[in-house]
């Protein structure tokens, strides 16, 4: 565990220290796009934050290669090199997109090529644990297609959810934390060395996100851009592929009594990790809803809009920070809830706890819809935001006059009230002055 923590800290430190210089480089390079209609921020913000995250990934892999225990992952498996190759390719594509706005189909093709590069170097799904059936081996083509599909889905799910300051990095960090605990348990509790690469990938991914978050929290000083969102999506999918398709349930059968029992015990996390529907359940749901919504409207599935889950939270009435925290809450509830259920699926308390927290999450989600009605006698005992605001007649008149002046067409006589109240029959109040346009 100490070596994992050291790797995580080194990755986070390198990412954090490089993000500042990368921000200055992005400004000089002109990677500051104009404000778009779907954007939430109000000022141009530099992108290319994925540059710092990529070098954090490289630093984490380099440190792990020189540690006594983690170095065995590099000597016994080619998966770290496969991850680095695919990450470098997807990172280059993201950097070009952050600067030049390349076409969506080109990015999709690059994502598939990056996934294919990882498959060629051995990072692929070999079999699937199916409940009630056991271990099902896949052919080479089946494993390749399933691996590429998983990588592309995860990359785009993370990319779609990257719409608020700190949202994508925080959600992926939460997912990586849940995944790390699961993979670490498989390796050290059951002694299955095939889970070691996935555990390492999760630790490095947490470091990348934690190092970037201080610069990306609201109000963000830099965005990760596609160079960062696609990168962390690929690393997350690589960990899922490594442990889901490489760990043989036959090894777990030694601890559970039979292969079917082993598959049944691990299915709460195995199958959702494969699709993936647990560790990135919220981004995956946002991805599916976006594709359905845009296709129903006759648009391209890659056409951007303001219909994502985080946009809907803002429309309901949540603040920027509260919307991000709500997304964090649901990601943590789903990810760690599935993790707890995989550890002890027979415990009813876990199910009840998840149900209770889900109810709390729904209340927080709909909180802006509730209008508190505090009695008059109790208003002085509650914060000002819960008190009823009394209508001020003078303020109402001033607002109406200001609105009338703003809406008056150019060339007409307009009166601006500077003091006092309006007189009878619309006469200008004391201290008012008439302003006539120059008809020249």
| Paired strand residues for 128 | 136
Q: Are 254 and 397 in a shared domain?
A: no
Q: Are 255 and 400 in a shared domain?
A: no
pLDDT grade, residue 195 (50/70/90)? confident
Backbone angles phi, psi at 375, to 5 degrees: -60, 160
* pLDDT (0 to 100) of residue 337: 81
For residues 294 and 241, the answer to whether their CB atoms sit within 8 Å is no
CA-nearest of 69, 70, 68 to 80 is 70
pLDDT grade, residue 158 (50/70/90)? confident
Question: Does residue 434 or residue 44 have the better pLDDT?
Answer: 44
User: Is pLDDT above 50 for 320?
Assistant: yes
Domain assignment of residue 279, yes or no: yes
Distance CA 305, CA 130 (A): 37
* pLDDT (0 to 100) of residue 261: 53
pLDDT grade, residue 45 (50/70/90)? confident
Q: Are 23 and 153 in a shared domain?
A: yes
Q: Are 26 and 165 in a shared domain?
A: yes
Backbone angles phi, psi at 151, to 5 degrees: -65, -45
83-92, 138-147, 154-163: segment of lowest average pLDDT? 154-163
Domain assignment of residue 416, yes or no: yes
Domain assignment of residue 210, yes or no: yes
Residues 235-259, mean pLDDT to the nearest whole number:
68
* pLDDT (0 to 100) of residue 297: 72
Q: Are 64 and 210 in a shared domain?
A: yes
DSSP 245-266: HHS-HHHHHHHHSSHHHHHHHH
Last residue of a domain, one of 288, 313, 348: 288
Tokens coding 218: 């609201």
* pLDDT (0 to 100) of residue 311: 62
Q: Are 98 and 234 in a shared domain?
A: yes
CA-nearest of 131, 140, 171, 135 to 271 is 131
Residue range 275-312, pLDDT digits in tens: 445 656 666 666 777 777 667 777 766 666 555 665 66
Nearest-Å Rg of the Cα atoms of the chain is: 27
pLDDT grade, residue 23 (50/70/90)? very high
179-183, 187-191, 284-288, 405-409: segment of lowest average pLDDT? 405-409
State the residue range of the domain holding 231: 2-288
3-12, 32-41, 87-96, 256-265: segment of lowest average pLDDT? 256-265
Q: How many domains does the chain have?
A: 2
For residues 165 and 220, the answer to whether their CB atoms sit within 8 Å is yes
Domain assignment of residue 198, yes or no: yes
For residues 339 and 178, the answer to whether their CB atoms sit within 8 Å is yes
Mean model confidence pLDDT for the chain: 75
For residues 207 and 3, the answer to whether their CB atoms sit within 8 Å is no
Residues 240-263, mean pLDDT to the nearest whole number:
61
Last residue of a domain, one of 231, 256, 288: 288
Domain assignment of residue 170, yes or no: yes
The reply to whether the predicted model has a pTM over 0.85 is no
Residue range 50-59, pLDDT digits in tens: 999 999 999 9
CA-nearest of 225, 199, 236, 234 to 116 is 234
Domain assignment of residue 309, yes or no: no
Highest mean pLDDT among 153-162, 228-237, 293-302: 228-237
Q: Are 281 and 398 in a shared domain?
A: no
Residue range 322-350, pLDDT digits in tens: 778 888 888 888 878 877 877 776 678 88
Residues 97-125, mean pLDDT to the nearest whole number:
90
pLDDT grade, residue 143 (50/70/90)? confident
Domain assignment of residue 381, yes or no: no
Residues 6+ apart with CB under 8 A from 201: 83, 235, 238, 239, 242
pLDDT grade, residue 71 (50/70/90)? confident
Last residue of a domain, one of 288, 313, 331: 288
* pLDDT (0 to 100) of residue 282: 64
């Amino acid at each position: 565990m100490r070596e994992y923590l050291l790797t995580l800290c080194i990755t986070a430190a390198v990412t954090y220290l490089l993000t500042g210089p990368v921000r200055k480089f992005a400004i000089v390079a002109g990677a500051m796009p104009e404000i778009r209609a779907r954007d939430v921020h109000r000022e141009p913000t530099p992108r290319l934050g994925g540059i710092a995250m990529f070098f954090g990934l490289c630093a984490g892999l380099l440190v792990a290669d020189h540690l006594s225990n983690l170095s065995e992952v590099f000597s016994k498996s080619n998966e770290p090199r496969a991850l680095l190759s695919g990450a470098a390719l997807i990172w280059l594509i993201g950097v070009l997109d952050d600067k030049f706005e390349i076409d969506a189909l080109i990015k999709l093709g690059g994502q598939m090529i990056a996934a294919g590069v990882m498959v060629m170097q051995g990072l692929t799904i070999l079999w699937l644990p199916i409940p009630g059936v056991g271990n099902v081996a896949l052919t080479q083509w089946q494993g390749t297609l399933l691996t590429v599909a998983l990588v592309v889905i995860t990359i785009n799910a993370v990319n779609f959810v990257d719409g608020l300051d700190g949202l994508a990095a925080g959600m992926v960090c939460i997912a990586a934390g849940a995944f790390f605990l699961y993979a670490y348990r498989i390796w050290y509790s059951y002694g299955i060395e095939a889970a070691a690469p996935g555990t390492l990938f999760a630790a490095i991914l947490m470091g990348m996100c934690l190092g970037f978050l201080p610069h990306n929290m609201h109000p963000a000083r830099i965005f990760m851009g596609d160079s960062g969102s696609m990168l962390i999506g690929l690393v997350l999918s690589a960990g899922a592929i490594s442990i889901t398709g490489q760990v043989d349930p036959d090894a777990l059968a030694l601890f559970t009594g039979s292969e079917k029992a082993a598959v049944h015990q691990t299915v709460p996390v195995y199958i959702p990790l494969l699709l993936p529907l647990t560790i990135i359940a919220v981004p995956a749901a946002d991805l599916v809803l976006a594709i359905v919504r845009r296709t129903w409207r006759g648009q391209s599935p890659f056409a951007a809009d303001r219909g994502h889950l985080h946009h809907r939270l803002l429309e309901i009435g949540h603040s920027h920070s509260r919307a991000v925290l709500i997304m964090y809450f649901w990601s943590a509830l789903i990810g760690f809830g599935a993790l707890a259920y995989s550890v002890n699926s027979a415990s009813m308390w876990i199910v009840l706890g998840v149900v209770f927290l889900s109810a709390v999450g729904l209340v927080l989600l709909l909180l802006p819809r509730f209008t508190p009605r505090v009695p008059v006698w109790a208003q002085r005992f509650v914060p000002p935001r819960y008190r009823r605001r009394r209508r001020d007649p003078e303020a109402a008149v001033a607002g109406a006059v200001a609105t009338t002046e703003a809406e008056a067409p150019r060339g007409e006589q307009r009166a601006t009230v500077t003091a006092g109240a309006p007189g009878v029959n619309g006469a200008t109040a004391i201290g008012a002055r008439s302003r006539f346009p120059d008809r020249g």
